[in-house]
Amino acid sequence: MKIEYTTRKINYFEISPVYLIGKKVEDFFTIFNLIKSFQDQKDPKRFHREADKILYMAEVKFDIEHQQIRGKLLNIRMDVFPELMDTLSDIVRDIDAAESEGIMEPSHFILSYKNGSLILSFEFNQYGPRISDFTGFLTNKAQDLNIFEKIEYVALCRDDLPKYKRRINRISLLTAKVHKDNYKRINEFDQELFDAFDTAAKVSEAEYLTLVFSYDYRDLKGSMNMRTKVMKIIEKFIGDKSTSNIFSTLKVRAEDEDRNNRIKEFDLLNIWVKSEVKVEKKLKSRAIVSADIFQKMQDELNKEFAR
């Protein structure tokens, strides 16, 4: 029978526990031993309950050879379930679940501790746990161990922005999209750009504001004025990567210094290290085959970070 595949995105984070005095990374690993023991003993403490969902870390395994810990963080929904529909007959049926059963949405992860730093490879699942759930779950399970004060994390990014500063010459098009709750922060970058978004916000009740600035790049004055604004934005991003979250879209079409000034589109938000992998699905349930995604996550982790 034909094997079916689906595409999954993998995000990468650097994990930085703020250790208490005398504690170190080896102590951090004891949390996973504790979680595994809860799992093996079916201890009620293996779950972390939050509002209408339950978090659970399953299939925790230590890979000593590669200096990794891998497993699945599960988001188990216990409230309202979806239904199943046959698209040929339009017949709809319930999911017949026992009272103790829930809808499980997993995010596979690999935590690499090679060379003393903690790099987390984390599957993106639209309905599954987030990185904040991962750190929150570990914090909850470690609260009696007195190992760290908190766990900090940062998404890993490519160092492309300084190169963009050098490569971007005369600009012919700028497309900027901002959520209505964020547009006032544009003032942190440029007053004139903020004024443009402020005017748009006053005449629109849209959820997102999108502005497109188009130039004849041969018109040096207008094009170079916008380039100055773009350089200020890039400088801000370089100084604080989190400021890029203000924008939903930020793309520039400009002459590219590295391509003999041929026009190229630069996506200023596409700076995060991410991978896309095609992974095998189980035939009937269509769930992801864990062994397959773990192997491909391992391959990508090695390719990106030599781990």
Q: State the amino acid at position 213 in one-letter form.
A: F
Rg (CA), the chain: 24
pLDDT in tens, the chain (307 residues): 789 999 999 999 999 999 999 999 999 999 999 999 999 999 999 999 987 789 999 999 999 999 999 999 999 998 889 999 999 999 999 999 999 999 999 999 999 999 889 999 999 998 999 999 999 999 999 988 999 999 999 888 777 888 899 999 999 999 999 998 889 999 999 999 999 999 999 998 888 999 999 988 777 777 888 999 999 999 998 888 778 889 989 999 999 999 899 999 999 987 778 899 999 999 889 999 999 999 999 999 998 888 8
Q: DSSP string covering the chain, please?
A: ----EEEEEEEEEEEEEEEPTT--HHHHHHHHHHHHHHHHTT-GGGEEEETTEEEEEEEEEEETTTTEEEEEEEEEE-S----EE-TTT--EE-----TT--EEEEEEEEEE-GGG-EEEEEEE-TTS--HHHHHHHHHHHTTTT--EEEEEEEE-B-S-HHHHHHHEEEEEEEEEEEETTTGGGGGGT-HHHHHHHHHHHHT---SEEEEEEE--TT-HHHHHHHHHHHHHHHHHHHH-GGGGGGEEEEEEEEEEGGGTTEEEEEETTTTB-EEEEEEEB-TTT--B-HHHHHHHHHHHHHHHH--
Residue 105 is predicted with a pLDDT of 95
Residue 238 is predicted with a pLDDT of 87
Residues 184 and 180: their CA atoms lie apart, in Å, by: 8
Q: Per the structure block, which two tokens stand in for 27?
A: 């102590």
Residue 186 is predicted with a pLDDT of 92
Residue 195 is predicted with a pLDDT of 92
Residue 2 is predicted with a pLDDT of 86
Length of the chain: 307
Residue 111 is predicted with a pLDDT of 98
Residues 122 and 203: their CA atoms lie apart, in Å, by: 41
Residues 205 and 152: their CA atoms lie apart, in Å, by: 36
